[in-house]
Amino acid sequence: MRGEISPVVRRLALVAVVVLACILPVCRTAAQAQVSDADKRCLGCHSRPGLFKRLESSDHMSMVVPADVFAKSAHAANACTDCHTDVNANTHLQTRKSIKSTRDYSIVQVQVCQKCHEKESGAWQHSIHAALVDAGNADGPVCTSCHAAHAEIKGAPDLLETVPCKSCHDTIFAAYAGSVHAQPSADGKTAPLPCSACHNAHDVSVASSPAGPKNACIACHDGVLQTHQAWLPDAALHFEVVSCPACHVPAAPRRVDLQLVDSGARTRLAEKAGVPTFQTPGPSVDAIALYNLLRQSDNGHAALRGRLEVGTAEQIHQLAPKSQAIHDCHTCHSPDADAFRSVTVSVAGPDGLPIRYATDQDVLRSVMSIGSIGGFYAIGATRIGLLDVLLILAVLVGIGVPAAHLLLGAVVKRHLRARDAARRRPE
């Protein structure tokens, strides 16, 4: 009869319940078995809710380590004293350790993590995160900023649901969550990409490095230059001066960023502490200030490298499917293109992050900027009409002079042959 459960189904359900009832305690016991008796004594106190330590800064640092959470963590197989080497179980309760602040304690603990995670720690030392810590930034991430020491689950940082990056970069992560890279592939073979797929897990580099996100993109999109060469004129030049999101985030506003670089090494110049790079009375850098800047910076060896990019970090991460990417050349190569109405000049800050200065858009039209933007000039694109005229004249002269020389030579030779023939003719 419809709606009635058959005896066979009842028996199978009963068997499943019995099996689960037997398995779950075994699984729980197996997980907790990783915790030694000595560690259970530690957890006997430290698993009590409300346990805290008063710090020199008058703040309170929680000392609670939930036993069930720790038993499931990646560190459950480690003894408490493997990390807390300064703790003696026999004298622990009588010992008073002074801690200045939670932040100071977290920074000191980096050395503890390094004992086991030497490779990861070495990578972190060369990251933008370590640079922020060295610069005294109170928000610079250390190990425990991303990894919960007593609750770290292996593989959790590689999943979008539990990636630690979003705790600091929440607005960027929200933007990324709607991008093509945060979605599984249509065939289900490719999972959503975690942040570390592009930014690396520990040696996180400055996203605004001279190459921009291009190197990260090419690392996965092999042969992408050849693909673009099939339809995009001067594809290699575009790859040098146009960032990938400028075309692959079609809804984002774009801008021209003039990066101050060493003219020889082509490395980005840094802002000197206490010395203003731009001395201009106006609200933005004009063509004269830009000209003077290049003459004074790096003993006159400075140059500008122009790049077309999107405006914000959130927009960089809103990558659309390739079918929605910009393919219309007129988007940029037109007299009224929006991309050239927003211009900035940038230098590298002490931590490697860019410091951008608003710049008058007329610097892309001014005669004063001819020497400044020669490194990325493209006819019709930089908005300096004089450069276009000079280029056309150069082409005409380059073609006309040899042509005139050949024509004049031909005329002279013809005249000389005619004269010689006239002399040999009998009178």
Q: What are the extents of the domains in the chain?
A: 8-85+98-155, 211-383, 388-427
d(CA 87, CA 46): 14
d(CA 231, CA 327): 9
Specify the pLDDT at position 36. Answer: 84
Specify the pLDDT at position 319. Answer: 96
Amino acid of residue 11? R
The Cα-based distances of 393 to 367, 378, 388, 400 in angstroms read 16, 15, 9, 10
Specify the pLDDT at position 316. Answer: 93
d(CA 15, CA 20): 9
Specify the pLDDT at position 272. Answer: 58
Specify the pLDDT at position 30. Answer: 39
Containing H/E element for 355?
Answer: strand 354-359
Helix or strand or coil: residue 89?
A: coil
d(CA 202, CA 11): 52
d(CA 180, CA 21): 42
Specify the pLDDT at position 320. Answer: 96
Low-confidence ranges of the chain (pLDDT < 70): 1-34, 207-212, 271-283, 298-300, 351, 367-387, 425-427
Specify the pLDDT at position 1. Answer: 39
Specify the pLDDT at position 27. Answer: 40
Specify the pLDDT at position 6. Answer: 57
In 3D, which of 175, 208, 241, 233 has the Cα closest to residue 356? 208
Specify the pLDDT at position 369. Answer: 62
Burial class (CB in 10 A: 0-12, 13-18, 19+), 385: exposed
Measured in Å, how far apart are the chain's first and last C-alpha atoms? Answer: 134
- Contact predicate 131/349, CB 8 Å: no
101 token code pair? 């602040």
- Contact predicate 317/175, CB 8 Å: yes
DSSP characters for 304-345? EEEEEEES-HHHHT-PPPGGGS---GGGTSSTT-GGGG-EEE
Inter-axis angle of helices 118-125 and 102-116, nearest 10: 130
> What length does the chain have?
427
Most distant CA pair in the chain, distance: 136
Amino acid of residue 110? V
Residues contacting 145, CB < 8 A, separation 6+: 106, 164, 167, 168
